[in-house]
Amino acid sequence: MNLKGVAVKYGRCWKESAAMLGHPRLLVPFSMLALLQAGMLLCLVFFMKAPLSFFMVDMVRLVGGEAALHYPVHYLRLPFMYHIMVLPAAVFGFVLYGWAVFMIADYFDGTLLSARQYVGAIVWNAPSFLIIGMLFASLGVSAPYLLSLLAQHIDDSTLRFAVRMGAWFAGFGAQAALVYSILF
């Protein structure tokens, strides 16, 4: 394939994607996921406030250490503490991604359904989405993270690097295997 053919196909993809923006309801699942993630980030930032402090203080202390409970260090460690919110994001994210996949597939088939029909399809398929989301979170995120934590205790730098890279590739492989399984 020549460069011109690639550029034409690339342009066609952008054109079709821009046409999809003419249907704002296709953005609803992504907007809901953005709100969920923003809410989780706010929980991490305001962990010391009354309703959240009951459970978030212990989580921040566990993941970020005692120093993460204090002002300047908390914001420095915030990017590294976000993984404590991976499980809810993965589980609910799979439900929302499934909803988006249904909607986009129907868009290309020319049969956009009503919101009630999509909600019915999501409720009907929610158990499988939740199971896949939990598998994704455990195999694709938690297991590599735990292997990476294990690698910190290995003295040999080459072996430590190999374990970390193996953990990353195992996570990527598990995620790739599970991402499109919602279609089946």
Q: Is the pTM of this model over 0.85?
A: no
Of all residues in the chain, what percent carry a pLDDT higher than 90? 1
- Count Cβ atoms within 10 A of the Cβ of residue 90 and give its class: 0-12 exposed, 13-18 middle, 19 or more buried: buried
pLDDT for 59: 82
- The answer to whether residue 144 scores a pLDDT higher than 80 is no
d(CA 64, CA 67): 7
- The answer to whether residue 184 scores a pLDDT higher than 60 is no
Mark residue 23 as left, alpha or beta (left: phi above 0; alpha: psi -120 to 50; beta: remaining): beta
pLDDT for 8: 86
Q: What is the mean pLDDT of residues 99-113?
A: 80
| Pick from 23, 21, 40: nearest CA to 32 | 40
pLDDT for 87: 67
Q: For the chain, give the mean pLDDT.
A: 78
